[in-house]
Chain A
Amino acid sequence: MHMDPNVSPIIAIEHLSFTFPDNTVALKDVTVDIAPNQVFVVFGPSRSGKSTLLRVLNRLSDLSEGAQRQGRVFFNGRDIFSPAVDVTELRRRLSMVFAIPTPLPGSIFDNLAYGLRMAGIRDAQTIERRITRALEQAALWDEVKDRLQSSAFALSGGQKQRLCLARSLAMEPDVILLDNPTSGLDPLSTATVEDSLIELKSRYTIIMVPHSVQQAARVADRAAFLMGGELIEAGTGRQMFANPKDRRTEDYVVGRFG
């Protein structure tokens, strides 16, 4: 389950288990390394723990009161659950985009500036520069540059999702966590988002729960197949989707179930 030994992983997950307060086991003893500057895809049938895995990585899982977690997660070699870690800072480094676009009430500009302002950045020029760059990276700049002050809710579904992506990018994180970012998007918007992801991986590490196996195959450098909270198999995208080792992965990839 380990990757190229020459590259040190940006994230190392070791024996991670996660159980919700109602005793639903979301993750069972997951161990996997994630290399920097790649698109790492986590796929599998629904309720297999994909979203939970993403939410553990930036500790949004802390919000589930009474949940149980075992195992460790290292980000750049540091245990993210150590008491010395500043959760807020961690979430700035590992920024998350959700399945449902979540623009906040306010203008497009406010949405993008929000995270920066909350991080204590006051300089108007810095904010403007980072917003412009984030919008360009998310392939949204041309569509919204003339109406940054209009409500974020007036955007189309695909634009909203790219806005959320830009909001994360404006934070200049190390890792972008994408939980099914193209659900509910039309094929054209999906293609735009996928294209921007491939552009982005030179600067960021992208961990993504895909919308479909096809999407996973299109974007993955490496992929991990989860089922019932267990990591069945991880490997390069090419190997996982063309030549999976495990029977269950193969069945899922070719569509025998799922």
Chain B
Amino acid sequence: MLKTEQAASLPAAQAETTPSRRHSGEWWIEQIIRGAGLSTIFIIGLIFLFLLREGLPAFVRISPLNLLGVRWYPIEELYGLLPLLVGSLLVTVGAVVIAVPLGLITAIYLGEIAPLWQRELLKPLIEVLAGIPSIVLGFLGWVALAPLVQQAGAPTGLTAFTGALILAYMSLPTIISISEDALYAVPKEYRDASLAIGATEWQTIWRVVVPAARSGIVIATVLGIGRAIGETMAVMMVTGNAANIPSLATGMFFQPVRTMTATIAAEMGEVAQGSLHYQALFAIGIVLFLLTFAINSLASMLIGGGKQQRSSQL
């Protein structure tokens, strides 16, 4: 109390130049929070350094032509990353194409159309879906989905498409709940305003609510992609693990592929530490890291644009 009074009695100019002493408890709390925050950055830095140390030599020791080749065959010292990249791309793009529209529509249904009792039933169920371990979904895909895909006419059930389906299913809860939050955050006034001048409910949802929730929906999509591109086990089980580039002509989604993550997981156990193969696997890790980083940066750029627009609303 006394301190405050003293501080208050100081002339204003002097009070500005000598910062008032803070309570020491507050100082400690601030330091702990700062430490926690900085440690995250520090750990990310360490991970990145480690990746670079283990993986960079591969880019020196393996000729660029070999790295860009179409064959991943470590026994013959062929380290072409292209089939793995294409594999990841196929599965991820497939998953996104399936999951984003489905997730968005589900979110719209949940948030805007469903009666209260359905909402209260479905929301916890979707959260349960998010909690299913990926290996269980992989198993499900292997036992139930793969035979269906094969029956549908694919040469084998274990294809990029099967992987995409499983991944889509896995990223759905994320996409649904984040999109739904974004829709929920759209001010009720927008809906009223639109309805009050005679727009239908569907017009209101499609032309006002969804555009207003755009940045949240973009976040949902990107997090969905992030989930899809990084997923390993389930994909490994259902994509057939053939490290070749599927031929474009004959339905490339319906052929076995191998993703970058699956390659690392499958081969890491068998390589000698420090060998060329080992370094090549870390090189894949670097590529994966850069890809994810690029996607996230793209997302924050898009979100940043959305934010600017939102702040101009005020």
Pairwise interchain contact B195-A91, C-beta atoms closer than 8 A: yes
Question: Does A98 lie within 8 Å of B189, measured CB to CB?
Answer: yes
Chain A residue nearest to B311 in the complex (CB): A153
Inter-chain contact B313/A98, CB cutoff 8 Å: no
- Candidates A65, A151, A164; contact of B312 at CB < 8 Å: A151
The prevalent SS among residues of B at the interface is helix
B132-151 interface (Cβ within 8 A of A): none
> A112 to nearest B CB, angstroms?
10
Enumerate A103-117 residues with CB–CB distance to B below 8 Å.
104-105, 114-115
Residues of B within 8 A of A92 (CB): 197-198
| B196 contact from A58, A100, A151, A154, Cβ within 8 A | A58
Are B193 and A104 neighbours in the complex by a CB distance under 8 Å? yes
- Residue of A with least CB distance to B208: A104
Least CB separation from B211: chain A residue: A105
A157 CB → nearest B CB, Å: 11
B192 lies within 8 A of chain A by Cβ: yes
- Size class of B's contact patch? 20 to 34
Residue interface mask B185-223, A partner, CB < 8 A = 1: 001011111111111100100011001100000000000
B273 within 8 A of A: no
A89 within 8 A of B: yes
Say if the beta carbon of B116 comes within 8 Å of chain A. Answer: yes
B314 close to A (CB within 8 Å):
yes
Q: Is the CB of B193 within 8 A of A102?
A: yes
Residues of B within 8 A of A171 (CB): 197-198
B196 contacts A88, CB within 8 Å? Answer: no
A100 to B187, CA, bound (A): 11
Name A56-107 residues within 8 Å CB distance of B: 58, 60, 63, 65-66, 88-89, 91-92, 95-98, 100, 102, 104-105
Cβ of B63 within 8 Å of any chain A Cβ, yes or no, is no
Asked if B31 is at the interface (CB within 8 A of a chain A CB), the reply is no
Q: Chain B nearest CB: distance from A156 CB in Å?
A: 13
Instruction: Check if B309 is an interface residue, CB within 8 A of chain A.
Output: yes
Is the CB–CB distance between B196 and A96 below 8 Å? yes
Contact with A along B161-201 (1 / 0, CB 8 A): 00000000000000000000000000101111111111110
Asked if B197 and A102 make an inter-chain contact with CB atoms under 8 angstroms apart, the answer reads no
Distance from A159 Cβ to chain B, minimum over Cβ atoms (Å): 14
Neighbouring A residues of B212 by C-beta, 8 Å: 104-105
Measured between alpha carbons, how far is A115 from B197 in the docked complex, in Å?
6
Taking CB atoms, residues of chain A closer than 8 Å to B269 are none
A65 touches B197 (CB 8 A): no
Q: List residues of chain A with CB within 8 A of the CB of B199.
A: 88, 114-115, 118
Give the CA-CA distance A88 to B312 in the complex, in Å.
31
In the complex, per-residue mask of B8-26: 1 if CB is within 8 Å of any chain A CB, else 0: 0000000000000000000
Assuming the contacts A104-B208, A118-B207, asked whether A164 and B198 have C-beta atoms less than 8 A apart, the reply is no
Partner among A60, A63, A97, A105 whose Cβ is within 8 Å of the Cβ of B309: A105
**Is there a chain B Cβ closer than 8 Å to A168's Cβ?**
yes
Let me know if B153 is at the binding interface, CB within 8 A: no
Given contacts A98-B189, A102-B189, A105-B212, contact A168 B194 (CB under 8 A): no
A167 to B192, CA, bound (A): 13
Known contacts: A105-B212, A114-B207. The answer to whether A88 contacts B190 by CB under 8 A is no
B312 A100 Cβ-Cβ under 8 A: no
**Residues on B with beta carbons closer than 8 Å to the beta carbon of A114:** 194, 197, 199, 207-208
Q: Are B193 and A118 in contact (CB under 8 A)?
A: no
**Cβ-closest chain B residue relative to A59:** B195
Among the interface residues A95, A105, A119, which one has the most CB atoms of the partner chain B within 10 A?
Answer: A105
Residues of B within 8 A of A89 (CB): 198
Q: How far is the CA of A118 from the CA of B202 in the complex (A)?
A: 10
Closest to B115 in A: A65
Residues of A with C-beta under 8 A to B191: 63
Q: Is there contact, CB below 8 Å, between B196 and A60?
A: yes
Across the interface, which residues of B come within 8 angstroms of A168, CB to CB?
196-197
Q: CA of A60 to CA of B192 in the docked complex: distance in angstroms? A: 7
Distance in angstroms from A133 CB to nearest chain B CB is 15
In the complex, per-residue mask of A29-72: 1 if CB is within 8 Å of any chain B CB, else 0: 00000000000000000000000000000101001011000000
Minimum CB distance partner of B203 in chain A: A118
Can you list 28 A-B contacts with CB-CB less than 8 angstroms, sorted by A residue number? A60-B196, A63-B195, A89-B198, A91-B195, A91-B197, A91-B198, A92-B197, A97-B196, A98-B189, A98-B193, A98-B196, A102-B189, A104-B193, A105-B208, A105-B309, A105-B313, A114-B194, A114-B197, A115-B199, A118-B198, A151-B312, A153-B312, A153-B314, A154-B312, A167-B193, A167-B197, A171-B197, A177-B196
A residues with a Cβ closer than 8 A to B are 58, 60, 63, 65-66, 88-89, 91-92, 95-98, 100, 102, 104-105, 114-115, 118-119, 151, 153-154, 164, 167-168, 171, 177
Beyond the given A88-B199, A151-B312, please list 11 additional residue pairs across the A-B interface where CB-CB is below 8 A.
A58-B196, A65-B116, A92-B197, A96-B197, A97-B196, A98-B189, A104-B193, A104-B212, A105-B212, A151-B313, A168-B197
Nearest 6 pairs of A and B residues by beta carbon: A92-B198, A96-B196, A115-B197, A102-B193, A153-B313, A118-B199
